[in-house]
């Protein structure tokens, strides 16, 4: 399989290529090979005779060129020519040549030169292939997706670095194992059937689209993945290259998006229900269109202020102090807020915004804010009672006109009394010196936990605004 070569690692070849970069090693090897050829020729001289003086120098030149490269091969040729001429071509130990010996020497030089050129070209081709193979391997190992080469029997032949990272194994632990080794145990049988069916008609296709696939890591954990299959064929032997992609993050994002859509739908429906109740009840109690418009716009604005704060906090909660600050920014010099620095749930934020609006509206019409010297103190206190924490929200007016109990019950009373009773206990005192309103609730029902837990369903935000 040609593609498989891109994964193969040959440490000995890498070390050899690094070694030959040293010129002392390359040329030294060439000299050593010629010296060895001289010794061998010396010892076998009586068997080969004087007619073939160059017999041991040919392989020496070939090996010197193969190991050292072109120029060490040329050096080996020159040294071989000199050594054979001096030592093994009659007359011995002399550079004198007869006609026959001259022809032999010239033929040796020509044939050796051809050998050096051929071996040098082959060497250059091998080096180019090695470099190409190295680049392919680096490319595959740097790919973000895993590559797994599986033969027709389902045996893992090769993997890349990303596969090692995805599954927690090194390639030596995976090579030779069945590919089912990477499949969760409960899915092994189904995977074998699918693989057998695919082998009957292999084709390029993607898996994981429309269904969930899981891989099994070395530590036994599972993760969502998507696999692309590409059949390979060489000399009638089939294999499959599987491209593996970890889609765990994408799955979590999709799940989070679904939860957000569900939560948005729920909150949108709840918002319409609340607005519908505000419109219906505000119109019901109003005597004129102007009065209805004023009451309705004020309540919707109070609600929208709370929704802005919740949106800024990704609907995880809102600060009660900030809700009150937005409601009373116009009267900041006459309203004192203390002890309300808690983060409350979306449902509680919605409720407290409407309660604060109704209290401020009543105060502006009949209470402390209707008089120039009127003051309002808003306080929040956390009390320990029977091992549970209770939050007490208090509204105290002073400096306003004399207070008397209302003669009729309007929609504002529904918000302040009946709707607020969903949280806890409500107490209202129409003292002559000023209205006192107190709402006591279980702190755990309105405060956002320090560490929010992931919820499979969105929290309810509905509050009861209908009159009895």
Domain segments of the chain as ranges = 2-141, 146-246, 267-446
Q: Partners of 224 in the beta sheet?
A: 214
Residue 421 CA to residue 427 CA, distance in Å, equals 10
Q: Angle 26-31-32 (CA atoms, 0-180°, nearest 5)?
A: 95
Give the global pTM: 0.49
Report the range out of 52-56, 123-127, 199-203, 393-397 with the highest average pLDDT. Answer: 393-397
Q: What is the pLDDT of residue 207?
A: 57
User: Which residue, among 162, 172, 157, has the nearest Cα to 238 in the 3D structure?
Assistant: 157
Considering Cα of 319, then 324, then 327, then 330, what sign does the dihedral take?
negative
Candidates 3.30.450.20, 1.10.760.10, 3.40.50.300, 3.40.1260.10; correct CATH number of 146-246?
A: 3.30.450.20
Residue 374 backbone dihedrals phi, psi, to 5 degrees: -70, 145
End-to-end CA distance of the chain: 81
Residue 13 CA to residue 18 CA, distance in Å, equals 9
| Least reliable range by pLDDT among 44-48, 159-163, 165-169, 301-305 | 44-48
Percent with pLDDT over 70 in the chain = 82
Fold of the domain built from segment(s) 267-446: Heat Shock Protein 90 (3.30.565)
More confident residue, 467 or 171: 171
Distances (CA, A) of 212 to 209, 245, 277: 8, 13, 44
Tokens of 7: 């994964």
Q: What is the pLDDT of residue 381?
A: 93
Contacts of 81 (CB under 8 A, 6+ apart): 105, 108, 109, 112
């Amino acid at each position: 399989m040609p593609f498989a070569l891109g994964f193969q690692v040959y440490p000995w070849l890498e070390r050899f290529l690094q070694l030959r970069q040293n010129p002392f090693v390359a040329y030294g090897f060439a000299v050593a090979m010629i010296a060895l050829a001289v010794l061998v020729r010396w010892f076998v001289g009586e068997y080969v005779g004087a007619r073939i003086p160059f017999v041991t120098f040919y392989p020496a030149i070939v090996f010197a060129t193969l190991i050292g490269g072109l120029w060490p091969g040329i050096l080996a040729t020159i040294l071989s020519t000199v050594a054979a001429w001096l030592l093994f071509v009659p007359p011995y130990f002399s550079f004198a040549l007869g006609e026959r010996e001259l022809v032999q020497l010239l033929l040796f030089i020509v044939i050796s030169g051809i050998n050096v050129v051929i071996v040098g070209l082959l060497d250059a081709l091998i080096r180019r292939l090695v470099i190409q193979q190295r680049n392919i391997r680096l490319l595959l190992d740097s790919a973000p997706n895993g590559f797994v080469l599986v033969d027709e029997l389902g045996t893992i032949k090769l993997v890349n670095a990303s596969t090692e990272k995805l599954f927690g194994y090194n390639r030596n632990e995976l090579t030779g194992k069945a590919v089912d080794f990477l499949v969760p145990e409960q899915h092994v049988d189904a995977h074998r059937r699918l693989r057998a069916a695919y082998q009957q008609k292999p084709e390029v296709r993607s898996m994981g689209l429309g269904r969930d696939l899981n891989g099994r890591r070395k530590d036994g954990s599972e993760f969502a993945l998507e696999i692309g299959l590409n059949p390979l064929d060489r000399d009638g032997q089939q294999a499959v290259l599987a491209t593996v992609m970890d889609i765990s993050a994408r799955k979590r994002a999709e799940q989070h998006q679904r939860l957000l859509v569900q939560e948005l739908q729920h909150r949108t429906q709840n918002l319409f229900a609340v607005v519908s109740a505000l419109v219906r009840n505000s119109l019901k109690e109003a005597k004129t269109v102007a009065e209805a418009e004023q009451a309705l716009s004020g309540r919707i604005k109070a609600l929208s202020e709370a929704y802005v704060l919740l949106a800024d906090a990704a609907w995880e909660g809102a600060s009660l102090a900030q809700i009150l600050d937005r409601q009373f920014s116009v009267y900041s010099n006459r309203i004192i807020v203390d002890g309300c620095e808690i983060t409350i749930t979306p449902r509680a934020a919605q409720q407290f915004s409407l309660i604060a609006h109704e209290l401020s509206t009543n105060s502006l019409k009949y209470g402390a804010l209707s008089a120039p010297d009127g003051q309002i103190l808003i306080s929040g206190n956390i009390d320990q009672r029977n091992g549970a924490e209770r939050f007490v929200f208090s509204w105290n007016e002073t400096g306003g006109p004399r207070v008397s109990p209302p003669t009729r019950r309007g929609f504002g009373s529904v918000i302040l009394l009946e709707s607020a009773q969903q949280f806890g206990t409500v107490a209202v005192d129409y003292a002559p010196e000023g209205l006192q309103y107190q709402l006591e609730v279980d702190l755990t029902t309105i405060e956002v936990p320090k560490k929010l837990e992931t919820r499979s369903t969105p929290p309810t935000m509905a509050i009861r605004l209908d009159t009895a």
